Structure 1
Amino acid sequence: MTTDSTTAAAGSTTTSTEPGTDRAADRAAARRNPLGVHALVFVGDTSPASVESAVRRTAEAGFDLLEFSLHDSINLDRAATRALLQEHGLSAACSRGLAPDADVSSDDPAVVARGQELLRQSLALTADIGATVLTGALYSAFGKAAAPLTRTGRDHVVGVLSELAQEAAPLGVTLGLEVCNRYETNVVNTARDAVRLADDIGADNVMVHLDTYHMNIEEDDFVQPVLDTGDRLGYVHIGENHRGYLGSGHLDFASFFGALQRIDYRGAVTFESFSSAVLAPGLSNDLAIWRNLWDDGDDLARSAREFLDAGLSSSA
């Protein structure tokens, strides 16, 4: 299976016109990847005012893509969001996990059916706002599992995501299998797990989504998982080991950026960071956002954009 990561996560290039950003603009021109930022850097919900704020601030910080978590999707105005993204020249991605009563990796067919319907609704929303990526833990409930995944449960995952991929293809949406740590899922914990699942699903519009925060827990290093994933890699989350400012932790981003260059990765690289300064109903507790790692989302976003510009251009 080959995934066109450029198509799956492409975005228009937006660079800042603020004074003193010439070098940043040069670095942006040198890199090959659209840069994204998670909306929770700016806002904790998807009300019209919050979406307007997140879109505007994403563009002002010089990013190309905005990622929305669908935990609060009932409040999201689809037409208005699509128009705002177009107005500011941004592409978009959507992400989500599943609840225990809507877990497609369950042995219970009724629970699986609820999860399948939730994924279909999420796919429709993703397409309606003009986003081209629906990613996350699409394969299981979010949270520490009580037992290992069963054979029946895995078969349910493959069946549901195979059907979802067929529905997503004519909409121009690529599905991402985000590799998450053992405390958040028992289905996919390593890049190799995700590649095997993608192979079993067998759809060209299903790709692997790597996240440095989770890789730090589960992988041996930051290079081999990228090489193992190869052209199946279609989306990347960049986050520190504590999910604060990039460069303030201990992660080996230079090796990771170098590995992306080795496989000629052209997809989006999206900054993800959480702090108790921006709270999302329900989701912040699920993610254990107890610490105040930053107060100023705009400063955080500008810092991340500059860090990514420098790191990705230096590895090119």
Structure 2
Amino acid sequence: MKAYSLGLYEKAMPPELSWREKLETAKEAGYDYVEISIDETEEKISRLDMTGEERFEMVSAMYETGLPIRTMCVSALTKYSLGNDDPQFSARGMEILEKSIRFADDLGVRVVMIPGYDVYYRPSTLETKRRYLRNLKRAAEMAEKAGVILGLETMENEFMNTVEKAMKYVTLCGSNYLKVYPDIGNLTNAAVQYQSDVLEDLELGRGNITSMHLKETLPGRYREVPYGTGHVDFEAAIKKAWEMGIRRYVTEFWYKGSENWKEDLKFAHNMMSEILDSQSKGA
């Protein structure tokens, strides 16, 4: 039995695939689970209103394919941010998050990842930060009741682009069900920006990190950088994370219409599993 779990971000696969096809494809590429996306499109948000029968079909597909959905990325909270000064947007964000926790509970999802934005499309202010904290505390209470972990993702913004900044909110909320879900690509860019040590930043989350997004980046570029062409030191980051007891990882990249997308899945899996295997063997 492997000492770690390596997941695949749903958006690395073509959107037109059925859930059964996505799970089968991820399994064929060697992955252990899939991370489902609830982004800001109404199509993805509508997943949270699936009927009991539809949810049961998804769970059945997991059992029949032998590959589960175990983490959830609720990037809809970028648009419907928890600190938004438009009450309609922040209220919708809370509704989405409450439904996401319920959906996760039904599917067996362990971690619901929420982006570290108090507000995204509007200016960040003292009031948006206060509203974010108030709503985050409410969200943590919902998670406590359901037994589902919330993970704050470190983003590309000044508000929460380091583990240190995310830990501020973990401390202020004081909940066993609110942790940090760092993106090593975003952390690497922040370390370059601040001339700081990315591994020291990770250390500040010791005991409070659920899992890690393995994403490639370049300075100032946060998405769609192919693995091996960026500046993220995955070997050093995984070695540090492993030493801290982190055993769950997700390769985060996007399907962009390539004919070789299945090969891309296998390349990402093999690259990261090779590093993880070396850690599990004590290298």
Structure-1-length-normalised TM-score: 0.75
Alignment-mate amino acid for residue 297 of structure 1: W
String of CA shifts for 1:171-197, please: whole Å, max 9, x gaps.
231001000002xxx531211110001
CA contact (8 A) 1:213 1:243 kept: no
Matches within 5 A, 1:115-134: 115-134=93-112
Tell me, yes or no, if structure 1 residue 42 matches structure 2 residue 13.
Answer: yes
* 1:273 aligned to which of 248, 253, 257: 253
Matches within 5 A, 1:221-232: 221-232=197-208
1:56 is matched with 24
Q: More deviation in 96-105 or 162-171?
A: 96-105
Structure 1 CA distance for aligned equivalents of residues 122 and 56 of structure 2: 40
2:237 is matched with 256
* SS of corresponding position for 2:206: helix
Give the CA deviation at 1:94: 0.9
Give the CA deviation at 1:91: 4.2
Alignment-mate amino acid for residue 254 of structure 2: F
1:74 is matched with 46
* SS of corresponding position for 1:247: coil
* SS of corresponding position for 1:250: coil
Tell me, yes or no, if structure 1 residue 171 matches structure 2 residue 143.
Answer: no
Give the CA deviation at 1:204: 0.4
* SS of corresponding position for 1:157: helix
Structure 2 CA distance for aligned equivalents of residues 229 and 270 of structure 1: 18
Structure-2-length-normalised TM-score: 0.83
Structure 1 CA distance for aligned equivalents of residues 15 and 126 of structure 2: 37
CA contact (8 A) 1:257 1:312 kept: yes
String of CA shifts for 1:147-180, please: whole Å, max 9, x gaps.
3x32322222222122222222232310010000
1:3 is matched with none
List alignment gaps of at least 5 residues for structure 1. 1-12, 14-28, 278-293
Give the CA deviation at 1:132: 1.3
CA contact (8 A) 1:104 1:160 kept: yes
CA contact (8 A) 2:36 2:69 kept: no
CA contact (8 A) 1:245 1:304 kept: no
Matches within 5 A, 1:94-243: 94-98=72-76, 102-137=80-115, 139-141=117-119, 143=120, 145-147=121-123, 149-182=124-157, 186-219=158-191, 220-241=196-217, 243=224
Alignment-mate amino acid for residue 256 of structure 2: S
- CA-based RMSD of the aligned residues comes to 2.3
* SS of corresponding position for 2:74: strand
* SS of corresponding position for 2:204: helix
* SS of corresponding position for 1:231: coil
Give the CA deviation at 1:59: 1.4
Q: More deviation in 131-140 or 239-248?
A: 239-248
Structure 2 CA distance for aligned equivalents of residues 296 and 50 of structure 1: 19
CA contact (8 A) 1:245 1:300 kept: no
> For this pair of structures, how many residues does the alignment match?
261
Alignment-mate amino acid for residue 61 of structure 1: A
Identical-pair percentage = 20
The structure with higher relative contact order (CA 8 Å, sep 6+) is 1
